[in-house]
């Protein structure tokens, strides 16, 4: 029996259909990502599944014995309790079970005493009651044990610390935590309740890298069903087994990892674009005929026939969320080799020293990621480097011909509230970029009439996106970006990533998106957060994020590969830069051969798919010829051919997906 199921669900608001005949099944162990463009109905579907909304059509089935935990995107606030007390409310039903268990125990004790003092003839009735009460107590005991009631203190500590809270936070009043931390409290309570189904709407939004990695591990070992929305590609790759995509109100399920889904969708989109272009040519041909002969009496019947055929065409649409947008920003002016230098930097708050004698140098063209837990001092360092914070010791100097630009979450305060989105961005844009602004704003989720909205009515996330676009349009060669990927979907992140990869200046950034850091950074600076208030240790790692993680893993390992303690990590070969000692040359050769074989198979299958799609198009075109309508044998043969080629396309697509997944599963060289 499924835990949760949507059956042909429909949902609309006024005349806007959001979901049409959506069906989805969540079984024990299901881990599914819910994908789709902004506004496609992802949050709506989650609210329908958890019972917050009622469908206009279709039905939602829930196993009566299954509990559902739902985390919305935002809006949850906790107050009146300490963090620990609030976390304990997740066990409220079990407190009631425990009270019942104690009450039953008292009844058993009372009846036991009565049993010793009553006549033999009255004992059977008492013994029967005792047996019933003992059975009830055993049942309550099982509920308490299975719900983790007796280990709740340990569970609360593990989950709160996993999500980034410190021991010192446990006694803090909930109202002292910011909005992002409020959502972490909500997530902690859901995980502590151990529901059979987790419905999570962007759970990674407010988590730093360490907390994301902890949640990733938790979900990998979770035995219930998970359906979640996230814009963190790496996180999804590590946690889901399938992707459910919402597009134009309908839902399609893709088995495999998120990366496999993206590859398959990319291949489908490529074919869709070809079909779209072919269809547009056909439509243009028909429209040209109609325009040419509309007023020709001798061609009236043919014109009407063409008009009817035009009306019958099922127009192909390119999914907005799947369009690949390429954006180029103004070329960065060339700076000197050194763009920024910190010398003996000292920074402290009352009773809380942050940096002491910190010296760093940044070079032209470097893409530097600042990593570390929330509260470690990354944003403080960014404000110092941007010139926003001048209350420090030591020196901060820009290099020759350096023009810095700074983006932070509070950048929205620099916007003109009476401007529209387009006007605000237009004021910052170089003249040659103005014709490209609509496309650029569309890439950052301002589409259609959104660009004419006043800044004053935008949400905080929307204002931050406007600020980010303005900054990227500035003629800067040093970009300081504090969490630029917040409030961006995957397509927008890809646009930003591509632009920053092509940027010739220096980028120093903070992000909690693993994939974004991995693809952009060529240097990682770690700001460690001490267990107690004190000076942060800052460490510099040349190389990408994988290299940084490798070095950290090596440091935390108590022994080297031969079992001897005290490995010198500086001399340990990095897997992505040198050949691994554990893999001999023969293994590497076989691995490369296997990869080449699978790549050839991928290309062959994609080529075959294209040929089959062309054949399908030819058959459909033949079936549309009016002369064939009266030829029963011809139509029957075409229908059979269409069924065959459709089946072959599906088989080829599945084969391509299997080969793609097999290639992904190969170990890295």
Q: Is the pLDDT assigned to residue 44 strictly greater than 50?
A: yes
Structural domain of 295: 267-322
Residues 515 and 635 in one domain: no
C-alpha 652/C-alpha 601 separation (Å) is 11
Give domain status of residue 172, yes or no.
Answer: no
The 3 state secondary structure assigned to 563-624 is: CCECCCHHHCCCCCCCCCCCCCHHHHHHHHHHHHHHHHHHHHHHHHHHHHHHHHHHHHHHHC
Would you say residue 330 lies in a domain? no
Within a domain: 250: yes
Q: Residue 549's closest CA among 217, 231, 209, 161?
A: 209
Residue that is last in its domain, among 207, 223, 256: 256
Compute the mean pLDDT over every residue in the chain, rounded to the nearest whole number.
85
Indicate whether 215 and 118 sit together in one domain: no
In a domain, 531, yes or no: yes
Which DSSP category does 163 fall into? T
Q: Are residues 360 and 509 in the same domain?
A: yes
The set of residues, in sequence order, having a beta carbon less than 8 Å from that of 661 and lying 6+ positions away, is 256, 257, 260
Encode pLDDT of 348-394 as tens digits: 888 788 899 999 999 999 999 999 988 788 999 999 999 999 999 99
Nearest to 571 by CA among 582, 560, 556, 563: 560
d(CA 497, CA 477): 16
Pick 574 or 315 by higher pLDDT: 315
Closest by Cα among 400, 399, 352 to 376: 352
Check the CA dihedral 127-128-129-132 and report its sign.
positive
- 314 and 356 inside one domain: no
Q: Is the pLDDT of residue 481 over 80?
A: yes
Residue 155 lies in a domain: no
Comparing CA positions, the residue from 253, 216, 207, 257 lying closest to residue 237 is 257
Of 134, 150, 166, the last residue of a domain is 150
Q: ∠ CA(11), CA(15), CA(16), 5° rounding? A: 55
pLDDT, mean of residues 269-298: 86
Same structural domain for residues 631 and 522?
no
Strands across the sheet containing 242-247 = 68-71, 197-201, 225-229, 31-35, 242-247, 250-255
432 and 557, same domain (yes or no): yes
Q: Which token pair is 154? A: 């340990």
Least confident piece of the model among 10-14, 252-256, 329-333, 594-598: 594-598
Give yes or no: residues 133 and 202 share one domain: no
Note whether residue 157 is domain-resident.
Answer: no
Is residue 226 within 8 Å of 239, Cβ to Cβ? yes
User: How many angstroms separate the CA atoms of 64 and 87, rounded?
Assistant: 25
The pLDDT score that the predictor gives to residue 583 is: 39
What six digits make up the tokens of 349?
A: 């708050």
Would you mind telling me the total number of residues written for the chain in this entry? Answer: 669
Give domain status of residue 608, yes or no.
Answer: yes
Based on the fold, state whether residues 527 and 475 are members of the same structural domain. Answer: yes
Q: What is the CA radius of gyration of the chain?
A: 31
* Per-residue DSSP letter, 173: B
Are residue 344 and residue 469 in the same domain, yes or no?
yes
Contacts of residue 197, defined as CB under 8 A and 6 or more positions apart, other chains included, come to 3, 4, 26, 66, 67, 68, 69, 224, 225, 226, 227
The answer on pLDDT for 399 being more than 90 is: yes
Beta bridge partners of 369: 509, 524
Tens-digit pLDDT profile for residues 186-239:
999 999 999 999 999 999 988 989 999 999 999 999 999 999 999 999 999 999
Q: Do 444 and 501 sit in the same domain of this protein?
A: yes
CATH label of the domain that carries residue 511: 3.40.50.300
Q: How many domains, the chain? A: 5
φ/ψ of 429, rounded to 5, equals -85, 140
Region of residue 575 (left: phi > 0; alpha: psi -120 to 50; beta: else): alpha
Query: What are the tens digits of pLDDT across the range 87-139?
Result: 999 998 888 888 998 898 888 888 878 877 888 888 888 888 888 988 898 89
Among 60-64, 318-322, 368-372, name the one with the lowest average pLDDT: 318-322
For the segment 619-625, the average pLDDT, to the nearest whole number, is 74
Residues 609 and 557 in one domain: no
Instruction: Quickly state the pLDDT bin for 570 (edges 50, 70, 90).
Output: very low
Q: Characterize 334-344 residue by residue with b for buried, 16 or more Cβ atoms within 10 angstroms of its Cβ, and e for exposed.
A: ebeebbbebee
Share in percent of the chain as helix, strand, coil (round to 5): 50, 20, 30
CB 475 within 8 A of CB 218: no
Check whether residue 243 and residue 298 sit in a common domain. Answer: no
Packing angle, helices 460-473 and 490-502, rounded to 10: 20
Query: What DSSP string describes 428-450?
Result: HS-GGGGGGHHHHHHHTT--GGG
pTM flag (> 0.95): no
| CA distances (Å), origin 11, targets 20, 54, 56, 131 | 7, 8, 5, 51
Q: Is residue 495 part of a domain?
A: yes
């Amino acid at each position: 029996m499924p835990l949760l199921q949507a059956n042909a669900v429909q949902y609309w608001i006024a005349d806007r259909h959001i979901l049409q005949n959506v069906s989805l099944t969540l079984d024990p162990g299901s881990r599914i990502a819910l994908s789709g463009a902004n506004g496609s109905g992802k949050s709506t579907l989650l609210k329908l599944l958890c019972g917050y909304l009622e469908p206009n059509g279709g039905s939602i089935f829930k196993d009566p014995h299954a509990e559902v935990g739902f985390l919305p995107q935002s809006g949850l606030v906790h107050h009146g309790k300490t963090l620990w007390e609030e976390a304990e409310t997740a066990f409220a039903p079990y407190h009631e079970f425990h009270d019942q268990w104690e009450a039953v125990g008292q009844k058993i004790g009372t009846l036991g005493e009565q049993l010793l003092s009553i006549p033999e003839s009255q004992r059977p009735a008492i013994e029967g009651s005792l047996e019933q009460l003992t059975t009830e107590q055993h049942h309550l005991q099982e509920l308490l044990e299975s719900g983790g009631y007796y280990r709740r203190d340990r569970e609360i500590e593990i989950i709160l610390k996993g999500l980034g809270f410190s021991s010192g936070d446990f006694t803090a009043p909930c109202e002292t935590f910011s909005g992002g931390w409020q959502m972490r409290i909500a997530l902690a309570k859901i995980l502590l309740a151990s529901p059979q189904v987790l419905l999570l709407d962007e759970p990674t939004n407010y988590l730093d890298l360490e907390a994301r990695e902890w949640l990733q591990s938790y979900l990998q070992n979770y035995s219930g069903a998970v359906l979640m929305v996230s814009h963190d590609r790496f996180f999804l790759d590590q946690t889901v087994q399938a992707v459910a995509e919402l597009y134009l109100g309908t839902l399609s399920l893709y088995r495999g990892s998120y990366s496999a889904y993206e590859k398959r969708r990319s291949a489908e989109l490529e074919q869709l674009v070809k079909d779209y272009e072919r269809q547009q040519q056909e439509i243009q041909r028909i429209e040209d005929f109609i325009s040419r002969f509309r007023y020709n009496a001798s061609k009236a019947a043919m014109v009407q026939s063409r008009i009817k055929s035009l009306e019958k065409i099922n127009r192909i649409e390119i999914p907005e969320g799947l369009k690949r947008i390429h954006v180029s920003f103004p070329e960065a002016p060339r700076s000197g080799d050194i763009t920024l230098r910190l010398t003996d930097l000292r920074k402290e708050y009352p009773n809380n020293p942050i940096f002491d004698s910190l010296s760093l140098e940044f070079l032209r063209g470097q893409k530097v990621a600042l990593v570390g837990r929330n509260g470690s001092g990354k944003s403080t360092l960014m404000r110092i480097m941007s010139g926003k914070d001048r209350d420090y010791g030591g020196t901060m100097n820009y290099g020759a011909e350096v023009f810095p630009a700074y983006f932070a979450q509070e950048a929205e305060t620099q916007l003109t509230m009476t401007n529209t989105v387009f006007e605000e961005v237009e004021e910052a844009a170089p003249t040659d970029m103005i014709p490209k602004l609509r496309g650029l704003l569309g890439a950052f989720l301002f589409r259609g009439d959104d660009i004419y909205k006043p800044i004053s009515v935008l949400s905080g996330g929307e204002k931050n996106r406007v600020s980010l676009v303005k900054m990227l349009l500035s003629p800067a060669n040093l970009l300081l970006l504090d969490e630029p990927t917040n409030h961006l979907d995957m397509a927008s992140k890809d646009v930003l990533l591509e632009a920053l990869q092509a940027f010739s200046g220096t980028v120093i950034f903070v992000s909690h998106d693993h994939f974004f850091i991995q693809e952009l950074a060529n240097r990682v600076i770690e700001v460690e957060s001490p267990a107690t208030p004190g000076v942060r240790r800052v460490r510099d790692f040349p190389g990408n994020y994988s290299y940084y993680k490798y070095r950290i893993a090596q440091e935390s390992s108590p022994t080297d590969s031969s079992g001897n303690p005290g490995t010198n990590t500086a001399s340990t070969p990095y897997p992505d830069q040198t050949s691994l000692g554990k893999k001999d040359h023969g293994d590497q050769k076989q691995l490369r051969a296997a990869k080449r074989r699978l790549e050839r198979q991928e290309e062959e299958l994609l080529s075959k798919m294209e040929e089959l799609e062309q054949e399908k198009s030819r058959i459909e075109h033949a079936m549309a010829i009016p002369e064939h309508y009266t030829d029963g044998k011809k139509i029957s043969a075409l229908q059979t051919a269409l069924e065959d080629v459709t089946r072959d396309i599906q088989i080829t697509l599945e084969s391509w997906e299997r080969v793609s997944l097999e290639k992904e599963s190969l170990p890295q060289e």
